[in-house]
Structure 1
């Protein structure tokens, strides 16, 4: 059987420079540009990139929800707010942890989870 596993994820971004600045500031990601309409992210835990598009990725429209991990949800929540992200759902508990949802500056929805204290 061939090795078949998730290897890469691509997400839309209305403004590549804005999303690069946001994810660099909040999560420390690096970026490598491949032309004016595509940038790959680095040091994100999963390989992927943003492509120039006039739409966004939201679970409500059938998109997958990408969930990041944080050792301190409150600090990450404040960092997201400070960098211009919009909190879609404040911190809540679920079986096994806590998380919050946010929209990046281009309108894509993400979640961040952490372990219960």
Structure 2
């Protein structure tokens, strides 16, 4: 069982949330697809909801912050000092869109863009420590960015988070880490697939998830196929937000 109840180390992808044009519809879509239950939605927090899988929080969902923006998933990186990390973002050529904002006792958030215009967030944990269940069906398993300039992106994220990089042989792709454990990946934009940061959910069956997304009005951007990491697919929900699913690595 992969669970965590304390704040994530700085630089780790620690939380994801979805900006929804149709909150009730998105709740139903992802709740059915991933087996989530919902809590929150209080007006004092802008109607923001937490999704849980088997009693532990796995993601957030709320109304779009700016009307007219496309629905999308946001990846948040853990920080011990949101203001200091925001300053490093600016110094490295990025843009801070939402300055450090305390959300009561819950924590402090930042929304930013890297120099190539890819959005991401920061989360300084308070009572809300981030993802509590991961690497299991119905929860987050990976975060990665598709960028037009991988070398430039690596320089930026190294300056902000101190990442070290491990290129993958034969691929325009590298994983990043702050210690021994890979935290996510960075690769080149692929035709027909989304640009920027994306989220990948573990599922019991990639093919089953593909069928469920299509039945729910979504699209398949990359059909399910086997890889060295497991069987995966790239999908789009019916509002146009992209995400991936990954079934456990195939048996040898």
Specify whether residues 110 and 3 from structure 1 end up closer, same or farther in structure 2 by C-alpha distance, changes over 3 A only: closer
Larger Rg: 2
Shift of 1:34: 2.8
Aligned with residue 94 of structure 1, among 214, 219, 227: 227
Specify whether residues 76 and 61 from structure 1 end up closer, same or farther in structure 2 by C-alpha distance, changes over 3 A only: closer
User: Whose relative contact order is higher, 1 or 2, with alpha carbons under 8 Å and at least 6 apart?
Assistant: 1
Shift of 1:46: 5.5
- Normalising by structure 2, we get a TM-score of 0.40
Matched, 1:47 2:82: no
1:76 counterpart SS class: helix
Aligned with residue 57 of structure 1, among 72, 76, 80: 72
> Number of matched residues?
115
How big is the alpha-carbon RMSD for the aligned residues of Structure 1 and Structure 2? 2.6
Give per-residue Cα distances to partners, 1:28-53, cap 9 Å, x unaligned: 11112233642221118763312212
Q: Which residue of 2 aligns with 1:76?
A: 209
Q: Which residue of 1 aligns with 2:250?
A: 116
Specify whether residues 96 and 8 from structure 1 end up closer, same or farther in structure 2 by C-alpha distance, changes over 3 A only: closer
Shift of 1:102: 0.9
- Normalising by structure 1, we get a TM-score of 0.78
Give 5+ residue unaligned stretches, structure 1: none
- 1 CA distance for matches of 2:32 and 2:219? 15
